[in-house]
Amino acid sequence: DTGVSQDPRHKITKRGQNVTFRCDPISEHNRLYWYRQTLGQGPEFLTYFQNEAQLEKSRLLSDRFSAERPKGSFSTLEIQRTEQGDSAMYLCASSLAGLANSRFPETQYFGPGTRLLVL
C-alpha cells in the first residue's frame, strides 16, 4: 500500500454513459498525476496538478475528459459519453515537488488504479 487510494477499483459501464473516478493522494503531496494504461502497454500520461492548478494536459485527453483537484487534495477524473476505446486502467500518482532545479528527483507513488470496461 503506497498511501494513494483510488475509487472505484473496477467500473463497468455502457457506451455513452458518464463515469467519474476519484483519487486520494498521500496527504502532504502537492502534485497529482493521472495516467492511462491499456492492456500490454506501459502507462501514458494524461494530466497533472500542482496543488489545485492543472499544469499540463496530454493530447490523449480529449474534450470528453475532465479532471479537477478543487482543494488541492483529492482529484476526480470524469469521462463523458464513454466509448469502447476508453476501456483501460486509470492510474493516479502523487508526489512531493521540491525546490526548482533540485538535484533530487521527484518520486511518484501510484495508487492501485481503476479498471474501466466500456461495453
Partner 1 sequence: TQLLEQSPQFLSIQEGENLTVYCNSSSVFSSLQWYRQEPGEGPVLLVTVVTGGEVKKLKRLTFQFGDARKDSSLHITAAQPGDTGLYLCAGAGFGNEKLTFGTGTRLTIIP
Q: CB of 110: closest distance to partner 1 in angstroms?
A: 4
CA dist 100 → 1, 29, 56 (Å):
29, 16, 17
Is 96:108 a contact under the CB 8 Å cutoff? no
Can residue 25 be called a binding residue for partner 1 (CB under 8 A)? no
Q: Which residues does residue 93 pair with via DSSP β-bridges, in sequence order?
A: 33, 110
Can residue 74 be called a binding residue for partner 1 (CB under 8 A)? no
CB of 50 or CB of 80, closer to partner 1:
50
Q: Which residues does residue 31 pair with via DSSP β-bridges, in sequence order?
A: 50, 95
For residue 89, the SS3 value is strand
Q: Which stretch binds partner 1 (CB under 8 A): 11-19, 70-78, 79-87, 98-106?
A: 98-106
Cα Rg for the chain, rounded, in angstroms? Answer: 14
Task: Report residue 86: phi and psi, to 5°.
Answer: -80, -10
Chain residues 47-66 in contact with partner 1, contact rule CB under 8 A: 48, 56, 58
The site for partner 1 (CB under 8 A) is made up of: 2, 4, 31, 33, 35, 40-45, 48, 56, 58, 91, 93, 95, 97, 103-113, 115
